[in-house]
Structure formats: C-alpha cells, structure tokens
A and B are shown apart, each in its own frame.
Chain A
C-alpha cells in the first residue's frame, strides 16, 4: 500500500479533491512517493451512464462497460492512488473518515469555502481528531472575504487576476486563455504548500490549516505587472510581441495552421537572424527593431511561410536563435526531446501513454507507477491496512450502504 519510491515515502494523504487543480497538485505529491487515498463520493466520478463522451474521451475504447472508471481525463490525474469510496453524509462513513484522519498526515480538498464545514468536517473537527493534521483547503476565492461564497472556476477567475489586460491581439481585443490556466497555477502551489507545511510540522510538531485561493494564484502570476502599474509603467497588451524583445512572435509556416515561435533574446541572436533572413539590418538595436517591428515581422513571415515549422526551427536553432514549432497534441508525442526523456509513460490501461513527472532525480522511477484505481477498488485495503478493520467490520459497512464500488442506481 505504500506509495511509489520517493522522498515523500511515509506521508499519508487523504485526497478529497475534484475537477483539475486539486487532483493535479496531489498527483505531484503521489509521484514524489506520498501514499495517497482518494476519498470519493459515490457519484464522484459521475453516474452509471454518461450523457455523452467526456472531454478527454475514454480510456481504451468507446462505450466502455464501466464508464465512470474509464474517463480519460480523470484517469490521467489519478495515478499512484488508492480509491476509498464512502458516503460521508452517513454517520458511519463520517466516523470511518475521521479514523483515517487520525492516522493521516494531510487532508486536501478543493470544495467551496463552506462544504466541509457544513458536513462537520472542517479543520476544527479534523484537528480534534488529529492535532498534527495538515489540512489544505482550496476554495476558488479563499475561505474569507466578500467573494468567498462566489462560484469559481479557472476561466472566471482569470479575468480578475489582471491577465486579461495582457492576453489578446491588442488592448481592444482581449482574450481569455480558455485553458483554465489558474487551475495549474493553484495545483502547483498546492503541492508546494503541502510540503512547506509538512516541513514546518516536522520542526514544530504542530498541525496546520493551509488555505489556497485560485484567485490569488492568478494575481500572484500578474505580480510583476501589478508592480509596474504602481511604478508608472502601465503594461499594455502587445499581441505576440514582447516589451523587451524584438522580433518576438508567432509566424506562419507551410501547411494549414502551422506556426513557428521565434524570439531574438539578445543582439547576438538578432545578428544571427540577419544572416538567415534577407533584408534585415544587422546594426539595429532593440529600440530600432521595436520601431521597425512591422517590417521585420513581414520579412520573417516571407521566410517562414515557405518552410515547414520543423525545418525552420532546426535552421534557426542551428544559428543560435530561440525558435520552435507551435505544437499541437500529435506533435507533442512525436517530439524527440519528450521521447528521449520518456516523458509520456504507458503505465495506464491499454498502454495509454500519459504525461509523466517533470521532476527527475535519482530514486524516482515511473516504472513503479500504478494505474488510476477503479472507484472504491481499495475500500477493503484502506480500512484494513490503515485502521486494522476486520473483514466482518468492512462487510457491515458495505451492507449498510456506506461503502461503494460503483455509482448508485
């Protein structure tokens, strides 16, 4: 039941997260060796019948027999975990959960600010069960303040972070990333916060209440611009250009919707670019290049549009210029760097390759990874190995409808 090998071996985490930010943050901790139990509600993965194909498709095949266990997006986020499916609204389920809390190191959830409290499972209740528990709460707008009751998803938090002032085709054409980009910001910082709190607990012996706001993650990301604004250099949206690099852009290549990203990071790269692309003035400094950006972009486009993005990237890189293809999904799997470093790992069912762990260090090995467990697949193991429950005790909970291994009818 222990986690995969890694520096977090011995750390027990109860993971009540859902959607994206929470599960992704926990995945990093599981990859580092934490023993993670996913505490799931009976409908946590959806109903028995899905109304349509999920956004990431199915693992393995269309129309799977147990669709709640074959959602590819869910599967991607939940490796190296065990599934404990329990109804926390029932007294016996709640009691079993509190017993798990007593032997756990971390509880993490990303419900609304009041959800856990309303079930009587807020930090105060959990700290009574285990004063050393690290409790991580990730409500969208935080647990306090005038917006704390608001509904928050990554895409609606993004415009409130300041980012929308900078992302778009120009000041009058703002865009949302439509990637829910505040979720991975919160995810990565949740992992950072958990380990920071664990280290603090290691020193003081005291537990901690960690609060992380999706909204504040976004505002932190905009931090340098917020400071610039206060310093009187209000930043403006420049499309694909950059305030301190020129050229800097996305240029068309041969083929439909094929593009290349290019930047001259310094004067040396600019000179090298002048050696490749005709008509560029080698002696131009950054300010001159910024003034002539339209003309420079035109000349670069004339050069790139006759080449494939791969060819152009290789040529530019060979001259020492920062450039690379705009990759779609298929390109990511074909990328030689990702392949060389075995980034995509086929540990999942049907050998489906899944994104790996960017953290490389001796002792971490993806060949130990375990597939996303089926719903409730580890109910018995979790109760017996963490709490010492006997078979009869576990059967009684199953018979009473407290534990589940499929969504209710």
Chain B
C-alpha cells in the first residue's frame, strides 16, 4: 500500500518529503505563504524539493487536521517549539509524527529565533571555517535542513518498519552537534580546541586549495599517499628530503611544502592535473563551476541527473538521491502536481 505523507514546513520538511516522494510515497505538501529565505530562487527550490508531490495551498486548520489524521506519516518543520504547538501538532493522530525545530521541543532555547547561519555558528561549524585572522565563514546552502531531514526520514522509516506509533523530536542544533568530526572529542580528550586554517585541513600535509592555470585544485594527502604524491609532482627526491619524512615533519614545514606544490601546479590546467592525479592514484579534486558539475562526464555516465519528460516545460537537470537501490534512481516527475489532479485522501 502506498504510504500517505503530509508535509508542512520549510526546506527541511521539503527535503524529507522529497525522500519519501522518491521512495514512492504519496506526499501532500501544505504550501505556506512564506517558509523563510532560501539560498536559491523559489523556482529552483521548488523544482529541487517538490517534484512528484501534491501541493495544497490552504490555511484551513480543519482540512489540515483531516489530512493529518488520515496520513500515515506527518512531517512538520516549525520555527520554534511554541510555533509547533500552535499548529496543534500534538492533537493529530497520525501514527508517526516528526517534529523538526531549530532547538528541539524542550529546553531554555527551544523558542529562540533561528536562521541557518545562527544554527551553524551555535553548532560549532562556523568557528572552524575560514581564515584564522579573519571573520569565520558560515556554510552557505541548506546543509542544516537537508541533514536534519534525512535523519528524520531514517527515524520515521525505522518506526514504520517496526509498526510503532511514535512522535519524533528532532532538533537541528543537536543534528549539528552529532555530526561534528572531532571538535568535541579533541577538546575532551586532547584538551585542545580545533581552530580554523583557511582551506588547509591542517592535520595532514599537504591538504589545501592550490591555484592552477585555469582555476583551483584541492589536494588531501594523508600519510599513505605521500609516496605517490612525489611521483605525481615528478619530484621523487622529496621522499629523501629530511623536512618531509613524516607527517609531523611535513606539518612543521608546511609552508615550504606548499610552496613547492604550488609552484609545480601553477602552470598546469585542471584537466592535466586531474588526469595526472588519476594516473598516480592520489586524492585530488578540481574546483568545478556549476556548469562543469552539470556536464561532468562521470555524473552523466552514472545518470545522476533526472532529465525532463514531456510534461515539463524546461529541460532541467535535477540531482537525484546520492544513493540508489538495485541500480535504480528513484526519479519522480520533475514538477509538483496540483491537488486538483489527484483527489486528496481524508480521514
């Protein structure tokens, strides 16, 4: 039986619903006047998030309650705990209900006002990004919302699989804290606070952005790749250079090593560097423009982008899920379906 999913809220709710739509669920999204400022145009956000869903523009509380009570799954994203309660979230009888809020439903900050940059700052991410002698950088985009949504999707499906009726309380702040790399353990166990170092990963050397003839490339040379790096650089004598014998020594002499790497890469093109990295099997990525990402031969060979079908006006290429099951991309129609096209379910 196709599951009925009711989705209310902003970009986290939208992404959670997107995962359900791609898994074959019947997703009805309640369209609201404003869901907060996005990092892309409304048109782009809608095409990315809402393909295959039914959109219903209504503020009719009774209708929303009817839909919620008839749904198998309710996804709600609210700006605060109070805003969630004001929607009568607790009154709905949906078997599995997910509440996504910035700080969770309880606690002294559960009604704090939030934005993406505020959450990323409070969650420990911003402190680590950017140059040490300048303002830290906030992470652009909807990382916070999409990550919270995918966790919510996991929790909902776990409950559905177990046949359990549950209310799930998911705070975005805690999502960020849970996704820290080693910020918290380094503080607790090594007594050291992790700091920001520009693009330099710092703990393995060289790991940094380097300028080349037509852009930038990123190297990330963990110790086991030091030997092949010297082949890649066509500087085998570096293997015997006493400044670079171990990662600790390379950390001590990072500026000298970065200068050598930078000088070698500067005259080469991204394509040359990328090809050479593949031949030498070292971890290297090139900075791709959006056009280059869209035309990337690897992504094309893997049919990663969904293409438009006859119903769609524009031939947009939409990134699909980063996972596929049995080789299937869970493509859905690229545009949302209006509620008039398919009758709504009711309790």
> For residues 203 through 255 of chain B, which have their beta carbon under 8 Å from a beta carbon of chain A?
203, 207-209, 216-220, 222, 225, 246-248
Report the Cα distance A191→B217, complex, angstroms.
Answer: 31
Contact call B319/A219, Cβ cutoff below 8 A? yes
> For residues 177 through 206 of chain B, which have their beta carbon under 8 Å from a beta carbon of chain A?
177-194, 196-203
Q: A193 at the A/B interface (Cβ < 8 Å)?
A: yes
Contact call A153/B147, Cβ cutoff below 8 A? no
Q: A210 at the A/B interface (Cβ < 8 Å)?
A: yes
Contact call B135/A240, Cβ cutoff below 8 A? yes
Contact call B143/A327, Cβ cutoff below 8 A? no
Q: Give the contact stretch, choosing among A35-43, A91-99, A140-148.
A: A140-148
A155-B207 CB under 8 A given contacts A216-B322, A226-B294:
yes
Q: Give the contact stretch, choosing among A275-283, A318-326, A374-382, A398-406.
A: A318-326
Q: Give the contact stretch, choosing among A80-88, A114-122, A243-251, A386-394.
A: A243-251
Q: Is the interface of A mostly helix, strand, loop or mixed?
A: mixed
Contact call B179/A24, Cβ cutoff below 8 A? yes
Contact call A32/B181, Cβ cutoff below 8 A? no
Contact call B161/A7, Cβ cutoff below 8 A? yes
Q: A337 at the A/B interface (Cβ < 8 Å)?
A: yes
Q: Is the interface of B mostly helix, strand, loop or mixed?
A: mixed
Report the Cα distance A352→B186, complex, angstroms.
Answer: 11
A86 to chain B, nearest CB (A): 22
Q: A254 at the A/B interface (Cβ < 8 Å)?
A: no
The listed residue with most A CB atoms (<10 A of its CB), out of B115, B208, B217, is B115
Contact call B177/A196, Cβ cutoff below 8 A? no
> For residues 51 through 107 of chain A, which have their beta carbon under 8 Å from a beta carbon of chain B?
51-53, 55-60, 72-73, 75-76
Q: B31 at the A/B interface (Cβ < 8 Å)?
A: no
How many residues does chain A have at the interface if contact means C-beta atoms less than 8 Å apart? 159
Contact call A159/B217, Cβ cutoff below 8 A? yes
- Across the interface, A222 reaches (CB within 8 A) one of B129, B135, B168, B293, namely B293
Report the Cα distance A245→B247, complex, angstroms.
Answer: 43
Find chain A residues with CB under 8 A from B299 CB. Answer: 145, 215-216, 219
Contact call A244/B155, Cβ cutoff below 8 A? no
A114 to chain B, nearest CB (A): 12
- Across the interface, B160 reaches (CB within 8 A) one of A165, A199, A211, namely A199
Contact digits for B279-305, partner A, Cβ 8 Å, 1 yes 0 no: 001111111111101101111011010
A291 to chain B, nearest CB (A): 17
> For residues 28 through 50 of chain B, which have their beta carbon under 8 Å from a beta carbon of chain A?
34, 36-41, 43-45, 47-48
Contact call B151/A208, Cβ cutoff below 8 A? no
Could you name 24 residue pairs across A and B whose Cβ atoms are closer than 8 Å? A6-B158, A24-B179, A56-B182, A57-B186, A73-B182, A153-B222, A162-B289, A165-B290, A174-B199, A181-B143, A185-B322, A190-B323, A193-B321, A193-B323, A213-B323, A227-B43, A227-B318, A231-B44, A259-B126, A322-B114, A324-B122, A328-B127, A358-B177, A359-B170
